Structure 1
Amino acid sequence: MIIINTHAEFESYLGKELGTSGWHTITQEQINKFADATIDHQWIHTDEERAKSEGPFGGTIAHGYLTVSLLPYFWHQIADVQNLKMEINYGIESMRFAQPVLVNSNVRLIAKLAGIVNLRGVTKANIGVTMEIEGQKKPAYVGEVVFLYHFLD
Protein backbone atom coordinates (compact mmCIF):
# COMPACT_ATOMS: atom_id res chain seq x y z
CA MET A 1 0.00 0.00 0.00
CA ILE A 2 1.22 3.47 -0.83
CA ILE A 3 0.73 6.41 1.52
CA ILE A 4 0.09 9.84 0.04
CA ASN A 5 0.09 13.03 2.14
CA THR A 6 0.22 15.85 -0.42
CA HIS A 7 -0.61 16.74 -4.00
CA ALA A 8 3.11 16.70 -4.86
CA GLU A 9 3.51 13.16 -3.49
CA PHE A 10 0.47 12.03 -5.46
CA GLU A 11 1.76 13.70 -8.63
CA SER A 12 5.05 11.78 -8.38
CA TYR A 13 3.11 8.62 -9.33
CA LEU A 14 1.78 10.03 -12.63
CA GLY A 15 1.80 7.33 -15.29
CA LYS A 16 2.79 4.65 -12.79
CA GLU A 17 1.01 1.63 -11.45
CA LEU A 18 -0.11 2.39 -7.90
CA GLY A 19 -0.68 -1.18 -6.82
CA THR A 20 -2.94 -4.19 -6.71
CA SER A 21 -5.60 -4.97 -4.12
CA GLY A 22 -6.20 -8.28 -2.42
CA TRP A 23 -8.62 -10.83 -3.82
CA HIS A 24 -12.32 -10.73 -2.96
CA THR A 25 -14.82 -13.53 -3.61
CA ILE A 26 -18.16 -12.50 -5.12
CA THR A 27 -20.75 -14.67 -3.35
CA GLN A 28 -24.38 -15.30 -4.18
CA GLU A 29 -25.33 -13.63 -0.90
CA GLN A 30 -23.50 -10.46 -1.97
CA ILE A 31 -25.19 -10.57 -5.39
CA ASN A 32 -28.63 -11.01 -3.77
CA LYS A 33 -28.06 -8.13 -1.34
CA PHE A 34 -26.95 -5.90 -4.22
CA ALA A 35 -30.07 -6.91 -6.15
CA ASP A 36 -32.21 -5.94 -3.14
CA ALA A 37 -30.41 -2.61 -2.69
CA THR A 38 -30.70 -1.66 -6.37
CA ILE A 39 -34.06 -3.32 -7.10
CA ASP A 40 -32.41 -5.23 -9.95
CA HIS A 41 -33.51 -8.85 -9.60
CA GLN A 42 -32.83 -9.99 -13.16
CA TRP A 43 -32.76 -13.79 -13.12
CA ILE A 44 -29.21 -14.02 -14.51
CA HIS A 45 -28.08 -12.58 -11.17
CA THR A 46 -30.46 -14.03 -8.61
CA ASP A 47 -32.16 -17.21 -9.87
CA GLU A 48 -29.49 -19.86 -9.40
CA GLU A 49 -31.51 -22.75 -10.90
CA ARG A 50 -32.65 -20.83 -13.97
CA ALA A 51 -29.16 -19.40 -14.53
CA LYS A 52 -27.76 -22.96 -14.47
CA SER A 53 -30.33 -24.38 -16.87
CA GLU A 54 -31.04 -21.43 -19.20
CA GLY A 55 -28.17 -19.02 -18.79
CA PRO A 56 -25.11 -18.88 -21.01
CA PHE A 57 -22.62 -18.96 -18.09
CA GLY A 58 -23.64 -22.11 -16.19
CA GLY A 59 -24.68 -20.09 -13.14
CA THR A 60 -25.40 -16.63 -11.86
CA ILE A 61 -23.21 -13.63 -12.55
CA ALA A 62 -22.54 -10.48 -10.56
CA HIS A 63 -24.15 -7.22 -11.62
CA GLY A 64 -21.63 -5.10 -13.50
CA TYR A 65 -22.43 -2.22 -11.18
CA LEU A 66 -21.81 -4.44 -8.15
CA THR A 67 -18.24 -4.90 -9.35
CA VAL A 68 -17.91 -1.15 -9.93
CA SER A 69 -19.30 -0.44 -6.45
CA LEU A 70 -16.33 -2.34 -5.01
CA LEU A 71 -13.91 0.32 -6.31
CA PRO A 72 -13.65 2.29 -3.02
CA TYR A 73 -13.09 -0.94 -1.06
CA PHE A 74 -10.26 -2.00 -3.38
CA TRP A 75 -8.84 1.52 -3.81
CA HIS A 76 -8.35 1.87 -0.05
CA GLN A 77 -6.30 -1.35 -0.08
CA ILE A 78 -3.99 0.18 -2.69
CA ALA A 79 -3.61 3.77 -1.51
CA ASP A 80 -3.94 5.48 1.84
CA VAL A 81 -4.45 9.15 1.01
CA GLN A 82 -3.92 11.04 4.28
CA ASN A 83 -3.85 14.65 5.47
CA LEU A 84 -7.30 15.29 4.02
CA LYS A 85 -10.22 17.58 4.72
CA MET A 86 -12.35 15.55 2.35
CA GLU A 87 -12.32 12.91 -0.40
CA ILE A 88 -15.04 12.87 -3.07
CA ASN A 89 -15.96 10.27 -5.70
CA TYR A 90 -16.17 12.68 -8.62
CA GLY A 91 -16.94 10.56 -11.63
CA ILE A 92 -16.24 7.82 -14.10
CA GLU A 93 -14.51 8.89 -17.29
CA SER A 94 -14.87 5.51 -18.96
CA MET A 95 -15.87 1.98 -18.06
CA ARG A 96 -15.96 -1.04 -20.34
CA PHE A 97 -17.20 -4.40 -19.11
CA ALA A 98 -15.10 -7.04 -20.85
CA GLN A 99 -16.27 -10.23 -19.17
CA PRO A 100 -18.98 -11.26 -16.69
CA VAL A 101 -18.00 -12.19 -13.15
CA LEU A 102 -19.42 -15.59 -12.28
CA VAL A 103 -20.63 -16.27 -8.77
CA ASN A 104 -17.82 -17.40 -6.43
CA SER A 105 -15.15 -15.80 -8.63
CA ASN A 106 -12.23 -14.00 -7.03
CA VAL A 107 -11.63 -10.46 -8.25
CA ARG A 108 -9.05 -7.78 -7.52
CA LEU A 109 -8.20 -4.29 -8.72
CA ILE A 110 -5.09 -2.89 -10.36
CA ALA A 111 -4.78 0.91 -10.25
CA LYS A 112 -2.61 3.38 -12.16
CA LEU A 113 -2.43 7.16 -11.87
CA ALA A 114 -3.61 8.21 -15.34
CA GLY A 115 -3.83 11.95 -14.66
CA ILE A 116 -3.62 14.52 -11.90
CA VAL A 117 -4.44 18.23 -11.77
CA ASN A 118 -4.33 20.85 -9.03
CA LEU A 119 -7.60 22.79 -9.29
CA ARG A 120 -6.94 25.80 -7.04
CA GLY A 121 -5.99 23.64 -4.09
CA VAL A 122 -8.14 20.60 -4.89
CA THR A 123 -6.42 17.56 -6.35
CA LYS A 124 -8.31 15.88 -9.18
CA ALA A 125 -6.89 12.38 -9.65
CA ASN A 126 -7.82 10.18 -12.59
CA ILE A 127 -7.20 6.57 -11.67
CA GLY A 128 -6.98 3.90 -14.36
CA VAL A 129 -8.62 0.75 -13.03
CA THR A 130 -8.66 -2.86 -14.18
CA MET A 131 -10.64 -5.52 -12.34
CA GLU A 132 -9.02 -8.89 -12.81
CA ILE A 133 -10.85 -12.20 -12.45
CA GLU A 134 -8.67 -14.95 -11.02
CA GLY A 135 -7.87 -17.55 -13.67
CA GLN A 136 -9.22 -15.47 -16.57
CA LYS A 137 -7.27 -13.70 -19.31
CA LYS A 138 -9.86 -10.99 -19.88
CA PRO A 139 -10.65 -8.55 -17.05
CA ALA A 140 -14.12 -7.89 -15.71
CA TYR A 141 -13.68 -4.25 -16.68
CA VAL A 142 -11.23 -1.54 -17.59
CA GLY A 143 -11.94 2.11 -16.89
CA GLU A 144 -10.94 5.40 -15.39
CA VAL A 145 -12.44 6.89 -12.25
CA VAL A 146 -11.97 10.36 -10.82
CA PHE A 147 -11.50 11.33 -7.18
CA LEU A 148 -11.20 14.82 -5.69
CA TYR A 149 -8.91 15.29 -2.69
CA HIS A 150 -8.96 18.35 -0.44
CA PHE A 151 -5.57 18.16 1.31
CA LEU A 152 -5.10 20.04 4.60
CA ASP A 153 -1.88 21.68 3.40
Structure 2
Amino acid sequence: MLADDLRDMAPRASGWVALDAARVKLFADATEDWQFIHLDEERSAAETPFGGCVAHGFLTLSMLSKMSYEIMEGLEGVRSSINYGFDRIRFVSPVRVGRRIRGRFTVASVDERDGCLDVHWDVEVEIEGAERPALAANWITRLYLDG
Protein backbone atom coordinates (compact mmCIF):
# COMPACT_ATOMS: atom_id res chain seq x y z
CA MET A 1 0.00 0.00 0.00
CA LEU A 2 1.24 3.47 -0.88
CA ALA A 3 0.82 4.87 2.66
CA ASP A 4 3.10 2.15 4.06
CA ASP A 5 5.62 2.67 1.25
CA LEU A 6 5.78 6.36 2.12
CA ARG A 7 6.14 5.69 5.85
CA ASP A 8 9.05 3.31 5.09
CA MET A 9 10.71 5.65 2.57
CA ALA A 10 14.30 6.52 3.39
CA PRO A 11 15.20 10.21 3.35
CA ARG A 12 15.73 11.43 -0.20
CA ALA A 13 17.66 14.34 -1.68
CA SER A 14 16.72 16.13 -4.86
CA GLY A 15 19.17 17.25 -7.49
CA TRP A 16 20.89 20.63 -7.24
CA VAL A 17 19.11 23.77 -8.46
CA ALA A 18 20.98 26.99 -9.26
CA LEU A 19 19.60 30.23 -7.86
CA ASP A 20 21.31 32.37 -10.46
CA ALA A 21 20.75 36.08 -11.07
CA ALA A 22 18.32 35.46 -13.94
CA ARG A 23 16.06 33.26 -11.79
CA VAL A 24 16.21 35.77 -8.91
CA LYS A 25 15.29 38.64 -11.27
CA LEU A 26 12.34 36.68 -12.68
CA PHE A 27 11.11 35.98 -9.15
CA ALA A 28 11.55 39.65 -8.19
CA ASP A 29 9.47 40.68 -11.20
CA ALA A 30 6.77 38.08 -10.50
CA THR A 31 6.42 39.10 -6.85
CA GLU A 32 7.28 42.79 -7.24
CA ASP A 33 9.95 42.37 -4.56
CA TRP A 34 12.80 44.40 -6.00
CA GLN A 35 14.66 45.00 -2.74
CA PHE A 36 18.29 45.83 -3.51
CA ILE A 37 19.63 42.87 -1.49
CA HIS A 38 18.39 40.59 -4.26
CA LEU A 39 19.35 42.60 -7.34
CA ASP A 40 22.16 45.12 -6.72
CA GLU A 41 25.41 43.23 -6.19
CA GLU A 42 27.56 46.29 -5.50
CA ARG A 43 25.18 47.84 -2.98
CA SER A 44 24.48 44.47 -1.32
CA ALA A 45 28.20 43.87 -0.88
CA ALA A 46 28.68 47.32 0.64
CA GLU A 47 25.56 47.62 2.82
CA THR A 48 24.70 44.11 4.03
CA PRO A 49 26.44 41.39 6.03
CA PHE A 50 25.86 38.94 3.15
CA GLY A 51 28.79 40.00 0.96
CA GLY A 52 26.57 40.37 -2.10
CA CYS A 53 23.10 39.60 -3.39
CA VAL A 54 20.96 36.92 -1.76
CA ALA A 55 18.00 35.05 -3.21
CA HIS A 56 14.54 35.72 -1.85
CA GLY A 57 13.64 33.38 0.99
CA PHE A 58 10.31 32.75 -0.70
CA LEU A 59 12.11 31.83 -3.95
CA THR A 60 14.09 29.24 -2.01
CA LEU A 61 10.85 27.97 -0.45
CA SER A 62 9.03 27.87 -3.79
CA MET A 63 11.72 25.61 -5.26
CA LEU A 64 10.41 22.84 -2.99
CA SER A 65 7.75 22.11 -5.61
CA LYS A 66 10.32 21.36 -8.31
CA MET A 67 12.46 19.36 -5.91
CA SER A 68 9.51 17.32 -4.64
CA TYR A 69 8.68 16.12 -8.17
CA GLU A 70 12.02 14.30 -8.21
CA ILE A 71 11.37 12.80 -4.77
CA MET A 72 7.92 11.55 -5.74
CA GLU A 73 9.09 10.09 -9.06
CA GLY A 74 8.20 6.43 -9.37
CA LEU A 75 5.44 6.33 -6.76
CA GLU A 76 2.57 4.26 -8.12
CA GLY A 77 -1.07 5.07 -7.55
CA VAL A 78 -0.89 8.87 -7.31
CA ARG A 79 -3.27 10.70 -9.66
CA SER A 80 -2.24 14.23 -8.62
CA SER A 81 -0.92 16.20 -5.68
CA ILE A 82 -1.32 19.64 -4.16
CA ASN A 83 0.49 21.83 -1.67
CA TYR A 84 -1.64 21.57 1.47
CA GLY A 85 0.42 23.91 3.63
CA PHE A 86 3.17 24.20 6.22
CA ASP A 87 3.21 23.58 9.94
CA ARG A 88 6.60 25.26 10.28
CA ILE A 89 9.03 27.22 8.12
CA ARG A 90 12.33 28.68 9.26
CA PHE A 91 14.70 30.62 7.02
CA VAL A 92 17.99 29.56 8.59
CA SER A 93 20.64 30.97 6.24
CA PRO A 94 20.55 33.30 3.24
CA VAL A 95 21.42 31.86 -0.16
CA ARG A 96 23.92 33.93 -2.12
CA VAL A 97 22.85 34.50 -5.70
CA GLY A 98 24.65 32.01 -7.92
CA ARG A 99 24.71 29.21 -5.33
CA ARG A 100 23.03 25.85 -5.72
CA ILE A 101 20.45 24.34 -3.38
CA ARG A 102 18.79 20.96 -2.99
CA GLY A 103 16.00 19.57 -0.87
CA ARG A 104 16.41 16.74 1.62
CA PHE A 105 13.00 15.18 2.28
CA THR A 106 12.05 12.84 5.13
CA VAL A 107 8.52 11.53 5.62
CA ALA A 108 7.48 12.53 9.15
CA SER A 109 3.97 11.04 8.98
CA VAL A 110 1.18 10.01 6.63
CA ASP A 111 -2.50 10.64 7.33
CA GLU A 112 -4.89 8.44 5.35
CA ARG A 113 -8.07 10.11 4.14
CA ASP A 114 -10.84 9.03 1.81
CA GLY A 115 -9.19 8.89 -1.62
CA CYS A 116 -6.05 10.75 -0.59
CA LEU A 117 -3.03 10.86 1.68
CA ASP A 118 -1.67 13.85 3.59
CA VAL A 119 2.09 13.45 3.69
CA HIS A 120 3.99 15.49 6.29
CA TRP A 121 7.56 16.05 5.12
CA ASP A 122 10.45 17.27 7.22
CA VAL A 123 12.42 19.23 4.64
CA GLU A 124 15.76 20.97 4.72
CA VAL A 125 17.02 22.98 1.80
CA GLU A 126 20.77 22.60 1.72
CA ILE A 127 23.18 25.12 0.23
CA GLU A 128 26.01 23.46 -1.66
CA GLY A 129 29.19 23.68 0.39
CA ALA A 130 27.52 25.28 3.42
CA GLU A 131 27.21 23.81 6.90
CA ARG A 132 23.80 25.33 7.68
CA PRO A 133 20.67 24.86 5.58
CA ALA A 134 18.86 27.67 3.82
CA LEU A 135 15.57 26.63 5.38
CA ALA A 136 13.90 23.95 7.45
CA ALA A 137 10.19 23.21 7.22
CA ASN A 138 7.40 20.77 7.90
CA TRP A 139 5.49 20.67 4.63
CA ILE A 140 2.20 18.90 3.99
CA THR A 141 1.32 17.63 0.53
CA ARG A 142 -1.99 15.99 -0.33
CA LEU A 143 -1.76 13.07 -2.72
CA TYR A 144 -4.92 12.13 -4.60
CA LEU A 145 -4.97 8.41 -5.32
CA ASP A 146 -6.00 6.48 -8.43
CA GLY A 147 -9.38 4.80 -8.32
CA positional deviation for 1:11: 2.6
* AA aligned opposite 1:95: I
Match in the other structure for 1:99: 93
After superposition, the CA RMSD in angstroms is 1.5
Can you give the 5+ residue segments of structure 1 that lack an aligned partner in the other structure? 1-7
Identical pairs, percent:
33
Q: Is residue 147 of structure 1 aligned with residue 147 of structure 2? A: no
* AA aligned opposite 1:140: A
1: CA distance, partners of 2:60 / 2:3: 26
Match in the other structure for 2:121: 127
- Partners of 1:15 and 1:115 within 8 A in 2: no
Per-residue CA deviations over 1:6-44 (Å, capped at 9, x if unaligned) read xx2343332753311111111011111100000111111
The TM-score with structure 2 as length reference comes to 0.92
Q: Is residue 34 of structure 1 aligned with residue 27 of structure 2? A: yes
For the residue of structure 1 that corresponds to 2:6, the secondary structure is: coil
1: CA distance, partners of 2:10 / 2:103: 11
- Partners of 1:15 and 1:114 within 8 A in 2: no
Match in the other structure for 2:111: 117
2: CA distance, partners of 1:11 / 1:112: 14
- Partners of 1:101 and 1:133 within 8 A in 2: yes
Match in the other structure for 2:78: 84
Q: Aligned in 2, Cα 1:94/1:17: closer, same or farther, shift over 3 Å?
A: farther
CA positional deviation for 1:124: 0.7
Can you give the 5+ residue segments of structure 2 that lack an aligned partner in the other structure? none
Mean alpha-carbon deviation: is it higher for 10-19 or for 53-62?
A: 10-19
Mean alpha-carbon deviation: is it higher for 58-67 or for 20-29?
A: 20-29
- Partners of 1:98 and 1:139 within 8 A in 2: yes
* AA aligned opposite 1:79: M
* AA aligned opposite 2:5: S
Per-residue CA deviations over 1:38-91 (Å, capped at 9, x if unaligned) read 011111111122112212111100000000100111111122244333311110
The TM-score with structure 1 as length reference comes to 0.88
The number of aligned residues is 146
